[in-house]
Amino acid sequence: MKKLQSFVALTFLGGMTVVLPIAILMILFQWLFALVTDVIQPLTDMLTSRADVRELMADAIVLLLLVSVCFSIGLLIKTGVGAWLHRWLDKGLAKYAPGYQTIRDIVVQFVGGSEESSILNGQVALVKLYPQSELQVTAIVTAEHALGFTVFVPTAPVPTSGMVYHLPKTSVQLLPELTVEQAMKTIIACGAGSQVLLKSAMAQPAEL
C-alpha cells in the first residue's frame, strides 16, 4: 500500500513539475497581453472604427507597429545624431522626471544593451565574503577599482534582488569562461547546474 501511495504521489508531483511551469507561463503571458492591450486600446479602437478590422487583428497590427518603432529607434541611436539626441533626451528626463533615472538603470542592468555598466557585461566569479570561512558564493563582478572588485550576489530564485559587496581581489576568483546567463540559470534553479560553475573554478588555480 505504501509503495502504491509513493508511486501515486511521485507520479503526481512529476506531472505537476511539467504542468505548473507551463500554466504559470500562460498566466503571465495572459496578464502581460492584457496589460499591453489596455495601453494600446485607443489605437486599436481607432483601427477597428476606421478600417473595419477585427479587434484581435487590430491589436496584432498595433503590437507589430510598436515593435517596428522600437527597432527603428534602436537603429537610430546607433548613428551619431541619434546617439546625441538620446543623450540629450536622457539628461532632460533625468533632470525633470523624478524616478526616470532609477527605472532606466534597472532596465539597463537586466535587459542589457550597449551599456558598459550592464550587469550582463559583468564577469562571473566565486567569492569569499568572510576570509576566515570556506563559504563561497556565486557573484557577478560589476566594477573593478583600486580597492579590488565590486560584486553583486544574487538571491535565489529571483536573481534581480541581492546584495552588493566591495571586496579585495584576493577574495574573488574570476570565471571568465562562464557567461552571466549561465550563472543566472543556476541562481533561478536554486543551485541546480552549479557543477558546471564549480568545475570551471576547480580547473584553474585558486586565487582565494
Give the per-residue pLDDT at 53: 63
Select, from the ranges 14-18, 40-44, 103-107, 122-126, the one with the highest average predicted confidence (pLDDT): 122-126
Domains for the chain: give ranges and CATH numbers.
2-111 (no CATH), 122-202 (2.30.30)
Crossing angle, helix 55-76 and helix 41-50, to 10 degrees?
Answer: 120
Taking only the tens place, the pLDDT of each residue in 117-158 is 556 678 899 999 888 888 899 999 988 899 999 999 998 887
Instruction: Tell me the DSSP string of 1-46.
Output: -HHHHHHHHHHHHHHHHHHHHHHHHHHHHHHHHHHHHHHTHHHHHH
Answering whether pTM is above 0.85, one says no
> How deeply is 77 buried, as exposed, middle or buried, from its count of CB atoms within 10 A (0-12, 13-18, 19+)?
middle
Judged by average pLDDT, the poorest of 59-68, 95-104, 106-115, 136-145 is 106-115
DSSP string, 101-155: HHHHHHHHHHH--S-TT-GGGSEEEEE-SSTTS---EEEEEEEEETTEEEEEEEP
Record the cell numbers describing residue 103, joined without a space: 527605472
Residue 185 to residue 156: CA distance in whole angstroms: 10
C-alpha cell at 37: 492591450
Q: CB–CB of 126/138 below 8 Å?
A: yes
